[in-house]
Chain A
Amino acid sequence: MPKTAASSSPIVEIRDLDFCYGPVQALHAVNLAIPARQVTALIGPSGCGKSTLLRCLNRMNDLIEGARVVRGSIRIHGIDIHAPEVDVIELRKHVGMVFQKSNPFPKSIYENIAYGLRLQGVRDRARLDAVVEQSLRGAALWDEVKDRLHQSALGLSGGQQQRLCIARTIAVEPEIILMDEPCSALDPVATAKIEELIQELRARYSIVIVTHNMQQAARCSDQTAFFYLGRLIEHAPTRDIFTNPANSQTEAYVSGRFG
């Protein structure tokens, strides 16, 4: 692994971001720096804009009609991702995403993992095999599925499907992984496994995770950002947010008094 800059140096910088869905403004002047090789949790009550922000980072919001950045910028490695010379396809390869509801393709496990590489035109069987194994190991799924790689992914359990989606994401070697409430549809055991996996992944990837679950944010993130009504209220190391929040709204939320 190449040497990296100091862990505190930001990989994503969000400046003065205003974001609208048609006439409705979803984000107001958000300023946030997301550090590399750390887990950043976005928390807040429903509709506070945290998922919107997440989907801005790989421009999945482009797909929604009327959704647009009104003001401000998002820079990854200093490059404005909304600049015309940025290719959204390349961006998405670089910024992977795991969804709330696991969404494996109705294909075999192997083909699910190989999908991203095949898109890029990789045909080399040996290379595909290697990446599939590597990614499944990376997602801590290899031992469970290595004997049935060519069976349908829809036969896996919910937790396994979600880890498969993570494996599928890391197969294309992103630098950043976005997770949109990845455990909300899972039982506690599966959730624990995913959280464990997140801990392992942070060594290599910068992870941004949206979660409703305060304990989850506390357990597995390094940084936490609290959103309320489309505004970033507070951003600090997780320990500080949960033990010593600077803002009273944050305190009310993390202590469970609203939301």
Chain B
Amino acid sequence: MNAHPTPFAPRSRQRRLREGLVIAIFRAATYAVLLAGGGVFADILIKGSRTVFQAEAPFINTTFLFSAPESLHVFEWEGRRREMGDREFRAFREREPGAADVRAESFVYSAGGIWPCIAGTLLLVAGAMTLALAVGVSSAVYLSEYARDGRFIRFVRLAILNLAGVPSIVFGLFGFGMFVIFFGWNVSLLAGWFTLAFMVLPVVITASEEALKAVPQGLRAAALALGATRWQTIRTAVLPYALPGILTSSILGIARVAGETAPIMFTAAYVVRDRLPWEVERAVDFLFQGVMALPYHIYVVSSKIPQNEYTERVQYGTAFVFLLLVALVAAASILLRNRLRSRLRW
């Protein structure tokens, strides 16, 4: 036994244990978050896949994906429980004389599919992102390439930061007040586009600025020293190299746009609409029509109709399709961006 412990002796066991425990708690917090997220994801995916996939070829439930919602009628017929969509039920009653007064339980939206919602969401997102990218990238170009730090620019940046914190429902109210009422566009694609575009604007600006800043100063200096004007420099020596970054980061904005319900509730979304968006008589009508949208449809089917085995299919199916769409976009964005970050070090 040594009277003096060596100076490099390991610390006491107890202290090490305590440290290990604290770190383990932090670690547990991390994995608790992942577990919660994973749990939600898995629940929707597993239960939803029962609606979207099927055992026989083509393995995907095309009716669900590519037809419009209908009411589901459930009734007893000749000792068997039958489930039929609207049209089928009507045809059935005409065919079967005894069925005219059959008592059926009806569940709205629980049969058919969600094709109009998918189409509406895609249209909404495409338009909103086009607008947001055009304004957002231009704005970022100004902030990163032209602007010099001054009181005004600080004010603009403050506005962008604050815009990012405005609740989505407030954007909804604003869009309703300005586009739907003041401009008289009614509930329409156009109103939805602008509302959503303004909402993601801060995301797009921030992402674009980051991408522009990542382009090395040397390229700008080289172009300017060769006699390029400011705009030529931006067009030929900055934007082309920033564009991949701008796009990948902005895709995350797409996920956000697609995922929001509150802003489109009063500006663009219809609970139900029989026609598909492109079935319009005049081209302008296209812009001024309301559409069905996946997130709003989820809201409707999860809050306005009862929960039971018949409605669960459409609820989980819609949530599945929507979550998968958004998740794919988000995952693509995150992966692309991480790859880009590691590659773009010149």
Contact = CB atoms under 8 A, between A and B. Distances in A.
Interface of A: 58, 60, 63, 65, 89-90, 92-93, 96-97, 99, 101, 103-106, 115-116, 118-120, 154, 165, 168-169, 172
A93 B227 contact: yes
B97 interface: no
B225 A119 contact: no
B332 to A, nearest CB: 24
Interface stretch (B228-236, B297-305, B316-324): B228-236
A106 B241 contact: yes
B9 interface: no
Contacts of B241: 106
Given A65-B148, A106-B346, A169 B218 contact: no
B226 A96 contact: yes
Contact of B224 (A92, A120, A169, A172): A92
A99 B226 CA distance: 12
A97 B228 CA distance: 13
Contacts of B227: 89-90, 92-93, 116, 119-120, 172
Contact of A97 (B149, B225, B237): B225
Given A65-B148, A89-B229, A103 B236 contact: no
Interface residues of B, number: 19
Given A105-B237, A106-B241, A99 B223 contact: no
B253 to A, nearest CB: 26
Interface of B: 148-149, 216, 218-219, 221-229, 232, 236-237, 241, 346
Chain B interface, >50% SS class: helix
The 9 closest A-B pairs by CB, nearest first: A103-B218, A93-B227, A97-B225, A116-B226, A103-B222, A92-B227, A119-B228, A65-B148, A89-B227
A99 B224 contact: no
Contact of B222 (A63, A93, A99): A99
Given A60-B225, A97-B225, A119-B223, 4 more contacts: A93-B226, A97-B221, A105-B223, A119-B226
Nearest to B222: A103
12 contacts: A60-B221, A63-B224, A65-B148, A89-B228, A93-B227, A96-B225, A97-B221, A99-B218, A106-B346, A115-B226, A116-B226, A118-B236
